[in-house]
Amino acid sequence: MNTATFIEASSPHVMNTYGRLPIALSHGQGCRVWDVNGKSYLDALGGIAVNTLGHNHPRLVPALQDQIAKMIHCCNYYHIPNQELLARKLVELSGMTNVFFCSTGLEANEAALKLARKFGHDKGIDRPEIVVYEKAFHGRSIATLSATGNPKIQAGFGPLVEGFIRVPLNSIESLKAATQGNPNVVAVFLEAIQGEGGINPMHMDYLKAVRQLCDERDWLLMIDEVQCGMGRTGKWFAHQWAGIKADVMPLAKGLGSGVPIGAVVAGPRAAQIFQPGNHGSTFGGNPLAMRAGVETIRIMEEDGLLDNAARVGKHLADALAEALRSELNTHAVKEIRGMGLMLGIELSKPCTALVGQCADNGLLISVTADNVIRLVPPLIMSAAEADEVVSILCPLIKQLLLGAA
Ligand SMILES: *Cc1c(COP(=O)(O)O)cnc(C)c1O
């Protein structure tokens, strides 16, 4: 290391909202990133499922440069041609009908919650209630943290927003019991695969049963695909594996490959609820974000990245299972789960220490729910890079499991 260029990673004036690693990243190429001191890392986190096309993509970067030179922002008092283009594309991929654009995941979820409440008010329900899930994560605004199922995220921010009914995952009986005889229910709000909660998939049969129940009772099915959507599981949206459609689908994270963007896609039952004056966003749908969304989807289609996510994801899951076979047998590793390039490895004990140990060894990962290693790399990851993830990660897992509890 050249000491002349050594830069300390510390941010004393930035608000202390994250437990940060002592690393400052400088640039990247594909699935690899470098810190300010020149050390390289394989990126199996992708900026938390955001960097769909990895770093410095040879077709995304010139498109964004072109857009920045033309126009970054102009506001929604005018038509923005790439909004219509991206909306049409999302409608085509989802089989839904209309899109509202914003800039983040929590904003997309706020819009979904407002849609559900107005859906209720429009049919005479004054105090609409929305079903949400244990271990859910929907964001950190007051409404979305109220919908979130993690008490740690809510602590200190009460009073919470009312009007939520919480149920366990994958139990249609619990959902029926919790809503029995309640005329105020307007929507069921779920992640097809919970991300922050520990990579917890909803079962296909459960999703189908919830869809049917929503149809029978005139509830909106709102599927938060902020993390599991945009091709990560090998289909455009994770719930499509169950062969169902959502009424409302919030998106964000991977949609712009790193440029802040959020969207709420609505089907016929929810598409006409908002009228002028009901909702808005200054940055939402701006020309730079829209160009990022349009180009991300174009490149994903041209390069077959859904297939790559499915294929490399399976390769990675199989290789992890092989490398951790004896730990799986002894239940020291409880489960490897997820789909495509959204994988969780649940250990029998807390493993947040692995995040720093992996970084020391040149691999970026995260740990959620205390004991679940989360792998959500760029969708361009190759099988060779997946093998490299396994070769760095698995010895560290074994070492951690052997250590004192
Ligand atoms: C990350 C995430 C959010 C919040 O997105 P932000 O852009 O951080 O506001 C909401 N829902 C899910 C499922 C997420 O993974």
CA 1 to chain centre: 36
Answer whether 252 contacts ligand 1 (Cβ < 6 A). Answer: yes
DSSP letter assigned to residue 198: T
Task: Assign domain 71-302 to a CATH class.
Answer: alpha beta
Answer whether 191 contacts ligand 1 (Cβ < 6 A). Answer: yes
Contact present, 292 and 261 (Cβ < 8 Å): yes
Residues of the chain under the 50 pLDDT cut: 1, 3
Residue 1 is predicted with a pLDDT of: 47
What is d(CA 190, CA 101) in angstroms, rounded to the nearest whole number? 20
Q: Which residues pair with 165 in a beta bridge?
A: 131
What residue segments make up the domains of the chain, in order of their start?
3-56+304-402, 71-302
* 8-24: burial string, b at 16+ Cβ within 10 Å, e else: eeeeeeeeeeeeeeebe
Q: Which stretches of 284-369 are assigned E, i.e. beta strand? A: 333-339, 342-347, 363-364, 366-368
Does CATH place domain 3-56+304-402 in 3.40.50.1100? no
Q: Which atom of ligand 1 is nearest to the CA of 252?
A: 7
Answer whether 110 contacts ligand 1 (Cβ < 6 A). Answer: no
Region of residue 362 (phi > 0: left; psi between -120 and 50: alpha; otherwise: beta): left
Show the DSSP H helices in 193-286 as ranges: 204-217
What is the full DSSP assignment across 261-293? -EEEEE-TTTTTS--TTS---SSTT-HHHHHHH
Residue to substitute in 135, 144, 150, 196 for testing ligand 1 pocket (most ligand atoms within 8 angstroms of CB): 196
Question: pTM for the whole thing?
Answer: 0.97
- Ligand 1 geometric centre to CA of 345 (Å): 20
What is d(CA 352, CA 390) in angstroms, rounded to the nearest whole number? 18
What is d(CA 155, CA 143) in angstroms, rounded to the nearest whole number? 14
98-102 vs 262-266, strand pairing mode = antiparallel
Contact present, 53 and 257 (Cβ < 8 Å): yes
Instruction: Select from 264, 266, 261, 265 the least CA-distant residue to 286.
Output: 261
Residue 404 is predicted with a pLDDT of: 67
Residue 9 is predicted with a pLDDT of: 78
DSSP letter assigned to residue 255: G
Summary count for the chain: helices (H), strands (E) = 13, 17
Write out the H or E segment, with its range, that includes residue 302.
Answer: helix 287-302
- Ligand 1 geometric centre to CA of 125 (Å): 28
Show the DSSP H helices in 9-167 as ranges: 46-49, 60-70, 81-94, 105-122, 142-147, 151-154
* 355-379: burial string, b at 16+ Cβ within 10 Å, e else: bebbbeeebbbbbbbebbbbbbbbb
Nearest CA to ligand 1 atom 6: 105
List the end-to-end C-alpha distance of the chain, in Å, as a whole number. Answer: 35
Instruction: Select from 95, 360, 351 the least CA-distant residue to 236.
Output: 95
Residue to substitute in 227, 249, 261 for testing ligand 1 pocket (most ligand atoms within 8 angstroms of CB): 227
Burial of 2 from C-beta contacts in 10 A (0-12 / 13-18 / 19+): exposed
Nearest CA to ligand 1 atom 5: 105
Contact present, 165 and 157 (Cβ < 8 Å): no
Query: Helix or strand or coil: residue 315?
Result: helix
Same fold, 3-56+304-402 and 71-302: no
Residue 60 is predicted with a pLDDT of: 98
- The per-residue pLDDT for range 317-347, each reduced to its tens digit, is 999 999 999 999 999 999 999 999 999 999 9
What is d(CA 268, CA 323) in angstroms, rounded to the nearest whole number? 47
333-339 vs 342-347, strand pairing mode = antiparallel
